[in-house]
Amino acid sequence: MPLNPPTMQSAIQAKAASQLLAGNKFPFIVSAICSATCQYILSSAVVNSMNTVIGPGYGTQAGVIVGLVPDSMSSLILLKGQSMGIGGKDFRKLCDAVSFGVVSSMSSVTMQGSVMGGGPGIGTGTISGLIPSALESLIYQQEIFRLIHGVSMRKMISAIAFGICTHIMAASVIITDIGTPAPPPVGPIPVVAPGIGILT
């Protein structure tokens, strides 16, 4: 299942409900966060990898993300918020709920790409291209925030965007390369080849 806002929103709201976190505007704020986050991750994240493959050749690659932990993302959001002067029990609950929903949804995300220089093999990738300020702006452009103003709200969104982007880019992508190496006399030989992909 691809990354999608309804799934992420359901996970966040379920976690929030378990912590008795609610409010009239809460579902709309969560919806805005999820819509912007899913759109931004799928449109901006890039996976760069180094692969040990049999080549020379050209192949495709698929990968899964490892290393995403809700508590770690939540801590990043909380610390960023505290550095801007926002905090409290409800903010901590919000950090936990958002992080749980984002990480849970990311478990369904895969990487698709290509490897240059080789066919079958394995690799490890890193995620780049996510800029917290860009995600913050995208979240804040959602319709609900036309009705909600205030410095604290902007700081909260900034902290959430920072935690999401920073933690995702700290994760790793485990890659499987597929392809056909060149026949003799050129190949097949083991080579180290770069790869590039996107999240889907």
Model confidence, pTM:
0.95
Q: What is the pLDDT of residue 150?
A: 77
Let me know: does 173 contact 124? Beta carbons within 8 Å. yes
Residue 4: both structure tokens together: 């999608």
pLDDT in tens, 147-176: 777 789 999 999 999 999 999 999 999 999
Q: Please give the residue range of the domain that contains residue 13.
A: 5-199
Q: What average pLDDT does range 177-194 have in this prediction?
A: 94
Q: How confident is the model at residue 73 (pLDDT cuts 50, 70, 90)?
A: very high
| Residue 40 dihedral angles phi and psi, to the nearest 5° | -70, -45
Number of domains in the chain: 1
Instruction: Write the DSSP string, 172-192.
Output: EEEEEEEEEEPPTTT--EEEE
